[in-house]
Structure 1
Amino acid sequence: MIRAENLSYSFPHKELYNKISFTLEDDVHCAFIGTNGTGKSTLVNMILHPEDYLYDGKLIIDVPGRIGYVSQFYAIDEEKEVTVFDYLSEEFVRLQNKINQICEDMGTTDRLEELMEEYQTTLDEFNAIDGDFYESNIRKQLKVAGLAGYEDQLLSSLSGGEFKLVQAIREMMISPKFIIMDEPDVFLDFQHLNALRNLINSHKGTLLVITHNRYLLNHCFNKILHLENTEIQEFDGNYVDYNFALLQMKIEQQELAASDLEEIERNRRIVERLRNSATAIDSATRGRSLHARVSLLERLEARKTKSPFVDIKQPDIQLHTEGPLEDQTVLHAEDYSVAFDRQIMEHVSFSIQAGEKVAIVGPNGTGKTTLLRDIIRGENPAIHLGENVKTAYLSQMHGEVFDEKATVLKNFEDAGFDTDAQVIGYLKTYGFEEELIYSPVGNLSGGEKNLLQLAKISRTDANLLLLDEPTSHLDTYSQLALEDAIEKYNGTVLMVSHDFYTVANCMDYVLLTEDKGLRKVSMRKFRKMIYADHFDKDYLEYEQKKKDLENRIAFALQAGKYEDAKKLCDNLEQLLLDNGGKNK
């Protein structure tokens, strides 16, 4: 369906792809992976709108029908008050109305042959998406997604995670042959993440899915595309096998490269001695020896093993506070309630003490984000902040925080820097190359926007951080950096998250949304609830060990310690073998 041949593309001052080639065949479910800012979303946009890009090489698109697309960013048109069912049925109703209109026109026109062709084309399009059964299919898909009974809900009343699932259902129904999803898992709760897995696995067509979510990677895909350092790796198989093979290849490649460099350096020293000797003594024999050794050195350099890409672009996230508050209630809610078209929270009361790190966890649509917004706005009489509390807010809606049409530099004018050079130097520690500083915020990837929010939050010296899905869009190394920063932060944190590992690794306890209220739950009890209701305990513990080993191998490679990396890789292989070579 899609084929790239020696595709190259660059932004000003930044090369994204260097002669990459890959193929997406019929009916594969392909995961598209890579760290933040490597150009995954740009490549997706090139597939969707190739005419908008000037690139070298070939990009061949042979897709019957439309290409479906689920964006990494969601925007519900609140003025468009339609139900979930109406939203999902729009394309079917449009084609149905068009067919009816053509039939009506046939009785009053002399363009009968032309209308017959148009009728057949439209009917084929309608049949291709199983139009005769769209009403029952909508209900079936909603049930698969865990959204049974949502048909009559207004689109504008859905949470971000719920709308993501509805978007995925819509594209799967009207674009059955080929669909691209850009991080469809962000903002999904544990139940809906399982629902997305079921939707992906039940789809019969071709899927290209950008994701950092290990659970989906482990359970949904039979092909991997990995974009790294302007090059692409293509692997037919599952993610577990791919990642292990990649680490093994990098260890072998680095060892060979080190051996080649050692041999090159030895010959370079011989050439230097011969050159000095030939200069001191005029000898034809020594001149020939020098020429032969220089030719050997040139051959060695030309065929040396290329060092693998082992650079880890891990941001240096530092969360500061002017001074931690001690022995006081930082945040108190008394009889807090919120409702939209239905009651979301009712008579909620809770307190958070200075220095506590608390996660609000619960299903999509239970008011978690609304609560954070009410705290930051400071207008709800049920919410009280303690004395000298200074807040900072990370929003899952980036447009709430940044002027997305303005440059990154412009958005940091109020961040307390004296010069542009200071901003550039500061943002480099968060992984932003200088050319990105002059780009509009709207051009950044979701992960880059989250990192940018964290960079700005750190400049506020707030002692209460309100973080709404801070790990969404972040790659593995950025997530590790954020977890480390939260652990070291000596202020108070209230975080909305569906990321089990971040909650388990960083939080003191959980506020669980249930029955329109919040219930305080210890981390030990929270873990047991997750094991019982959503994910197998053995799987989560195994996955944590596997991820830890993979990261340690990557860091060992970055440091050039390939002997350590080999030992860790042996440990990883044993772990995989102990678990049957695959995840449970």
Structure 2
Amino acid sequence: MIQIKSLSLRRGTKLVLSNASLTLNPGEKVGLIGRNGAGKSSLFALLTGKLQADAGDFDFPRRWRMAEVAQNMPETDQPATAFVLEGDTRLMEAEAALRVAEEADDGHAIGEAHAVLAEVGAYDAVPRAQALMLGLGFKSAQLDAPVDSFSGGWRMRLQLARALMCPSDLLLLDEPTNHLDLDALVWLEAWLQRYEGTMLVISHDREFLDAITKVTVHLDDAQLTRYGGNYTTFETMRAERMSQQAAAFSRQQDKVAQLQRFIDRFKAKASKAKQAQSRVKALERMEKLAPVLTAADFSFEFREPANLPNPMLAMRDMVCGYPSLDGGEPITIVAGINRSVMPGQRIGILGANGQGKSTLVKTLARTLPQISGSVTEGKGLSIGYFAQQEMDVLMPDSGPLEHMIRLAKQILPGGGWREQELRDFLGQFRFTGEMVHQQVGSLSGGEKARLVLAMIVWQKPNLLLLDEPTNHLDLSTREALSMALNEFEGSVMLVSHDRALLREVCDEFWLVTRGGVGDFDGDLDDYQRWLLEQAKEQAKAYAQAQRTAVATPAPAPAPKALAPAAAPTAGSGRDDRKATAEQRQKLAARAKPLKTELARVEARMAAANTERAALGDSLADAALTPAHRAERGKRLKALEDEIAALEARWLELGESIEALAG
């Protein structure tokens, strides 16, 4: 088991744990929760030996094999499957032992090494690794692609697959859902439910925690408190505990007031001086119960919109994608969109990564021009856009107050605002004192997200376009966002893998898939069932393809006694050949535009990858000014988004061409 006794831990000047104690039993699945900055990742660093305790005892079974998701972005041209395989540490050790035995020409050691390889599952390791990758959203065509050909989010998925590949006794997962879409998230939940070791997971996704954990550890005020149950159980139990604490605090305050009144009344009287002095000592000895602060002490609301256009937006034959920088044909991601957004609608946008959800939102937010078709905006439309990457709308070298002043000058060029009002407004989003001048580049992810929310709220939008707004928000801030969205009078279009937020906010869903947008007729439970069915079908198809590739069936022997076939007529062979040729021509005609687009996508992918590599190298130049560095960083992010969309389109086109050929 894992035991922490009276342990204290510091990070710099900050006290992360103070005289904290905790016991975790083997096989328990534990959710570690707490506000951003409370020290959850520091506790993980203690478990992995990267940090040492300042005081107290920490006992951990040294024989346990540990797995965690590396946070660094891998830079290697190693094939993706081989990279994931290296996560199986037992397999790597067995293969190393075999190499040593072969180099020494030790027949006995070679035999033992092969026995160990069989024991650790060497002969089915590749299918196991690829099953993990497919479950996390990779396509079969990507399994042997070089690691550094993937965008950042997909490389982090490879790191997750590598951790899951390890036969571990203790699995540490720090925000594993941040780079996953819903289909990969549903698959990961099912995998973790089957995991037999001890697991600690840091997550701000309450449905994910409810699905996979049975114990919750709350890190708050440098203390660790264990609750038996998942996150929902924790909420109920903590609410009861806080209610009891509030009642005890109220009773104590009444007692304090009573004692203080006695002291104030009689301390000057000689006959009562001794009694008054005893009351002073009683007051000093009395236990100080801290005032109760609820977890959801942060709240905000969207301002009432000035008007509500009807419709908000009308899309007609709209095509979304990326323009070609070399003057060629643009790359289409989503096409044929004919939809409208009405006042008060709450729309959740579903679909796998790379299908075009963010491309659609960026087009509606005017940060990406549509390729063709039209978008008609209602009179007085005011859009509040939350970008998936906050730095798309923030400047790293400016502080929160600078951002607000710049926004105020843009919205109200003639004045009508005061700096103190902007400071007070930022205070509502926890930006107080000198923090209003702190450079955005040094803020945490949660702080950047709160600043973007503040800027959106100040603009009084009537249409909110939110692309993964909860990625860096803790649970209490997510709850505050959910409440604010439910009270918002305008329309909402939401892309999120946070199912709790989608359930609480959205009343209808659009599905972006196979290059189009349609209604999803059902709720999130229906969508999860649909995702699982799709995953099973893909797994069956992949397994069948693997079996076919390994063993092509031999032709069946010809029957020994058959009646002689009718002699073909003179023209039948010609007719068959003509029909076959016509069929080939039809298929070629249908495949030609797909192959043309595939060639354009490949050319653009090559150009984008080249530009991305050059930009990455240029960021190491110490002579770059902060403004140029920020500009290049934004361009690098745009390229990574485009490459991810291009990869998805390339796979779709390849599958369509293969289907025609079949």
- Please give the TM-score of this superposition, normalised by the length of structure 1: 0.70
Deviation readout 1:425-462 (Å, 9 max, x if unpaired): 43331134657556665665544332232123334555
1:469 to partner: Cα distance: 1.4
Provide the rounded CA distance (Å) in 1 between the counterparts of 2:114 and 2:174: 31
| Aligned residue pair count | 510
Which deviates the most, 129-138 or 96-105? 96-105
Contact 2:98 2:114 in 1 (8 A): no
1:397 matched residue in structure 2? 389
Once residues 437 and 46 of structure 1 are traced to their aligned partners in structure 2, the CA distance between those partners, rounded to angstroms, is: 33
2:368 alignment counterpart: 378
In the TM superposition, what is the alpha-carbon distance from 1:330 to its structure 2 partner? 3.1
Query: In 2 relative to 1, CA 386–156 (structure 1 residues): closer, same or farther, beyond 3 Å?
Result: farther
Structure 2 vs 1, CA of residues 507 and 305 (structure 1 numbering), >3 Å: closer, same or farther? closer
Higher mean Cα deviation, 445-454 or 125-134? 125-134
- Give the direction of change, closer, same or farther, for the CA distance of 1:432–1:532 in structure 2 (3 Å limit): same
Partner of 1:314: 298
RMSD of aligned Cα (Å): 4.6
**Distance in 2 (alpha carbons) for counterparts of 1:476 and 1:501:** 11
Residues 27 and 198 in structure 2, CA contact (< 8 A), matched pair in contact too: yes
Query: Structure 1: how far apart are the matches of 2:229 and 2:48?
Result: 25
Q: TM-score, normalised by structure 2?
A: 0.63
Question: Judging changes above 3 Å, is the alpha-carbon distance between structure 1 residues 287 and 360 closer, same or farther for their aligned structure 2 residues?
Answer: closer
Question: Residue 341 of structure 2: SS of its match in structure 1?
Answer: strand
- Equivalent residue, structure 2, for 1:497: 496
CA contact (8 A) 1:162 1:364 kept: no
Q: Which residue of the partner structure matches residue 273 of structure 2?
A: 287
In structure 2, the residue matched to 1:197 is 189
Q: How does 1:516-535 map to 2 (within 5 A)?
A: 516-520=515-519, 525-526=522-523, 529-530=526-527, 533=530
Deviations 1:224-279 (A, max 9, x none): 2101233221235544544433332222232233223322322222222221333x
C-alpha distance in 2, partners of 1:186/1:476?
A: 14
| Aligned counterpart, 2:209 | 217
Partner in structure 2 of residue 326 of structure 1? 309
> What is the Cα deviation at residue 383 of structure 1?
5.9
Tell me the amino acid that sits aligned with residue 480 of structure 2.
A
Letter in 1 for 2:347: V
Matched with 1:43 is 43
Gaps of 5+ in 2: 325-330, 410-416, 533-662
User: CA 1:184/1:441 → structure 2, altered by over 3 Å: closer, same or farther?
Assistant: farther
Matches within 5 A, 1:345-424: 345-353=334-342, 356-375=345-364, 376-382=366-372, 384-386=374-376, 391-402=383-394, 414-416=406-408
Summarize deviations over 1:497-536 as a string: whole Å, max 9, x none: 23444344434643222443211357xx44684587579x
Provide the C-alpha distance between the structure 1 equivalents of 2:212 and 2:57, rounded to a whole number of angstroms. 29
Deviation larger for 85-94 or 402-411: 402-411
Amino acid at match of 1:470: P
| Residue 559 of structure 1: aligned partner | none
Instruction: Judge conservation of contact 2:32–2:200 (CA < 8 Å) in 1.
Output: yes
Over 3 Å counting, the alpha-carbon distance change for 1:43 and 1:320 in structure 2 is: farther
Q: Take 1:473 and 1:269, find their aligned partners in 2: how far apart are those partners?
A: 49
Can you list the C-alpha shifts for 1:141-186, whole angstroms capped at 9, x where unaligned?
A: 4566676857637568989887665543320213613322122234
- Report the equivalent of 1:542: none
CA contact (8 A) 1:38 1:227 kept: yes
Letter of the structure 1 residue corresponding to residue 127 of structure 2: S
Q: Flag the structure with more relative contact order, 1 or 2, with Cα contacts below 8 A and sequence separation at least 6.
A: 1
> Which residue of the partner structure matches residue 470 of structure 2?
471
2:275 maps to a residue whose letter is S
- Percent identity over the alignment is 23
Name the CA distance, whole Å, in 1 between partners of 2:468 and 2:267: 63
Residue matched to 1:135: 126
* Preserved contact between residue 144 and residue 199 of structure 1 (Cα < 8 Å): no
Counterpart residue identity of residue 380, structure 1: Q
Distance 1:449 1:129, change over 3 A: farther
| Distance in 1 (alpha carbons) for counterparts of 2:393 and 2:41 | 22
In 1, distance between residues paired with 2:397 and 2:60?
A: 31
Change beyond 3 A, Cα 1:140–1:358: closer
Is residue 480 of structure 1 aligned with residue 479 of structure 2? yes
Counterpart of 1:39, as a letter, is G
Looking at structure 2, the residues matched to 67 and 440 of structure 1 have their Cα atoms a distance apart, in angstroms, of: 37
**Residues 312 and 56 (structure 1), Cα distance of their counterparts in 2 relative to 1, 3 Å cut:** farther
Does the Cα contact within 8 Å between 1:161 and 1:364 map onto a contact in 2? no
Query: Structure 2 vs 1, CA of residues 263 and 390 (structure 1 numbering), >3 Å: closer, same or farther?
Result: closer
2:16 and 2:39 in contact (8 A); partners too:
yes
> What is the distance in 1 between the residues matched to 2:359 and 2:74?
16
* Equivalent pair of 1:333/1:350 in contact (CA under 8 Å): yes
- For the structure 1 residues 242 and 498, does the alpha-carbon distance in structure 2 shift closer, same or farther, using more than 3 Å as the test? closer
Q: Which residue of 2 aligns with 1:549?
A: none
CA offset at residue 32 of structure 1?
Answer: 0.4
1:87 aligns to 2:83 (yes or no): yes
Equivalent in the alignment of 1:456 = 455
CA deviations on 1:30-76 (whole Å, 9 max, x unpaired) are: 1001234433234334545635x8955555665557753337x8968
Question: Which amino acid is 2:244 matched to?
Answer: E
CA distance in 2, matches of 1:296, 1:329: 66
Instruction: State the Cα deviation string for residues 109-136 of structure 1 (Å, max 9, x = none).
Output: xxx9xxx9xx99x999989975554213
> Hey, what does 2:284 align to over in structure 1?
298
What secondary structure does 2:246 align onto? helix
Q: Tell me, what secondary structure is at the counterpart of 2:269?
A: helix
Counterpart of 2:244 (choices 226, 231, 252) is 252
SS, match of residue 450 in structure 2: helix
What is the 5 A alignment of 1:138-157?
138-142=129-133, 149=140, 152=143, 154=145
Distance 1:21 1:176, change over 3 A: same
Aligned to 1:27: 27
3-state SS, counterpart of residue 186 of structure 2: helix
Contact preservation (8 Å) 1:29, 1:208: yes
Matched-pair contact (CA < 8 Å) for 1:320–1:459 = no
